[in-house]
Amino acid sequence: MHFSSIVAAAAIGGAAIVSAAPAASPVDKRATTCTFSGANGAASAKASKAACSTIVLNNVAVPAGTTLDLTGLKSGTNVIFQGTTTFGYKEWEGPLVSVSGTSITVTGASGSVLDGDGARWWDGKGSNGGKTKPKFFYAHSLTTSHINGLTIKNSPVQTFSINGAKTLTMDKITIDGSAGDSLGHNTDAFDIGSSTGVTITGAVVHNQDDCVAINSGSSITFSGGSCTGGHGLSVGSVGGRSDNAVSDVHFLNNKVINSDNGIRIKTVSGATGSVSGVTYSGNTLSGIKKYGIVIEQDYENGSPTGSPTTGVPITGLTMTKNTGSVTSSGTDIYILCGKGSCSNWTWSGNSITGGKQSTKCSNIPSGGAAC
């Protein structure tokens, strides 16, 4: 990036400095709203972001193979998406958008869409092969921040990667990948790792992989959401990464619809780590194809082995008032624990019906759980 002043960036990039700060406020000398749009909007925003207290991204067309780079924003920056944000096509890892900073608020204006047009990459192989597909949105290293009201359509592959967050709320996020039901794959909505204090409320998701997957972190709540078409509300797989502890997680009052799984905890075979203090309560399942509730300690290279190991204990699990239905070819509940590696579970008021009863459950702890 060449050096350019804000004004130069505005001239080159079609950005407009809409309002300048009243000089009277010594508290915030940067009360400056910058609006970026069109094909040069992303480059201009990257060049000028540190000088703006509000960044408006109005119908930005992000060039192929580049990130809409909103990393390292000044503390207190507001980012507003307006209109349709589009992305050029290239086979690459992404991300298409990246935001980091402290006290950042990212908002989608009414009617705004971030449109990944994932069909250009979708080949049914997701991140396991075929075209290299960009991840959509890195929310990495966000502290005391908010992401509100974004609508993301047709992610090429995984959508939100939330990592290194400390106190992040995400309210009313819509992730609509319904067009990918035949060829979209690994289009996880929210992947969370190494984060503390993440609260996601009222998300509406239609995708083809986990609605939420928590690999590590603590004090994480996902509530009042609706998840359609994917793999459900997941912890894991836990183990085999640099951070392998999950604690104090709450999935509350969500709907999981026409998905492979409803509720899932999976830990990695032969690995070490811990899953403690996870609560699933008040979740409603319908049209679940594989497992209503599945808890298994046998994952290896992304697949179950059928032989659980004990290195990632699942303790302090609370499963209450989860109800709903599994299709007749699916299984209501499957619990595969190693000897002694599941303990201190509370299980009450759950009613999962319609599917088969598993005959392969093992080492179910006391506390009411049953297959």
Q: Which is nearer to ligand NAG, 43 or 263 (CB)?
A: 263
How are beta strands 303-304 and 291-300 bridged, if at all?
antiparallel
Query: Shortest gap between Cβ of 217 and ligand NAG (angstroms)?
Result: 16
Binding positions for ligand NAG, 255-314, rule CB under 6 A: 277
- Site for ligand NAG contains 316 (CB under 6 A): yes
CB 277, CB 245: distance < 8 Å:
no
Give 33 or 281: the residue with its C-beta nearer to ligand NAG. Answer: 281
344: contact with ligand NAG by CB under 6 A:
yes
- Which residue, chain included where needed, has tokens 């960044």? 55
| In the complex, least distance from residue 313 CB atom to ligand NAG, rounded to whole angstroms | 11
User: What are the two backbone dihedrals, phi and then psi, of residue 126, each rounded to the nearest 5 degrees?
Assistant: 55, -130
Residue least distant from ligand NAG (Cβ): 316
Q: CB of residue 316 vs ligand NAG: minimum separation in angstroms?
A: 3
Pairing of strands 33-38, 84-87: unpaired
Nearer to ligand NAG, 224 or 316 (CB): 316
102 touches ligand NAG (CB under 6 A): no
Cβ–Cβ < 8 Å for 238, 275: yes
Q: Smallest distance, Å, CB 280 to ligand NAG?
A: 12
Residue with structure tokens 């399942």?
Answer: 285
**DSSP character string of 157-213:** S--EEEES-EEEEEES-EEE-GGGTTT--S--SEEEESEEEEEEES-EEE-SS-SEE
- By beta-carbon proximity to ligand NAG, the closer residue of 66 and 363 is 363
The nearer residue to ligand NAG, 88 or 367, going by C-beta atoms, is 367
Residues classed as catalytic: 231
What is the helix, strand, coil percentage profile of the chain, to 5? Answer: 10, 45, 45
- Closest distance of CB 315 from ligand NAG, Å: 6
Of 145, 224, 235, which is closest to residue 190 (Cα–Cα)?
235
Check residue 247 for interaction with ligand NAG (CB under 6 A).
no
Contact residues toward ligand NAG (CB under 6 A) are 277, 316, 318, 344
